[in-house]
């Protein structure tokens, strides 16, 4: 069973706010599913290369130049931003 501290640590890494109640629920749910993941301990994977791209594609490259997309353009993109200042996305104060 994951401890309360572990749940709070994961929640902070995941940037998800949790209440006291949530912590208990996650302790139960996550532990149950993690136990299920343990099934993979049975599998011997010595010498097996992990999958990168499933059909074996290697790196793909494109030319290093910008291009515009979307008929509506920048203004329409910026309409989705919660807070804009002088045409820039406003980020909240960190400290």
Min dist CB 53 to another protein, Å, is: 7
What is the distance between the alpha carbons of residues 28 and 22, in angstroms, rounded to a whole number?
10
15 binds another protein (CB under 8 A): yes
Helix H or strand E segment including 88: strand 88-89
The residues near 84 (Cβ < 8 Å, ≥ 6 apart) are 78, 90
What is the distance between the alpha carbons of residues 84 and 90, in angstroms, rounded to a whole number?
5
64, 65, 69, 85: residue in contact with another protein (rule CB under 8 A): 69
Q: Which residues bind another protein (CB under 8 A)?
A: 7, 10-11, 13-19, 26, 29-30, 32-34, 36-37, 39-40, 42-43, 45, 48-51, 53-55, 57, 60, 62, 69-73, 76-77, 79-83, 89, 91-95
């Amino acid at each position: 069973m994951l401890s309360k501290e572990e749940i709070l640590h994961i929640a902070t890494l995941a940037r998800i706010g949790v209440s006291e109640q949530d912590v208990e629920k996650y302790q139960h749910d996550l532990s149950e599913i993690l136990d299920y993941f343990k099934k993979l301990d049975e599998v011997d994977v010595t010498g097996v290369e992990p999958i990168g791209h499933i059909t074996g594609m290697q790196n793909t490259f494109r030319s290093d130049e910008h291009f515009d997309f979307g008929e509506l353009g920048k203004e329409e993109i910026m309409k989705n931003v919660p807070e804009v200042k002088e045409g820039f996305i406003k980020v909240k104060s960190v400290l």
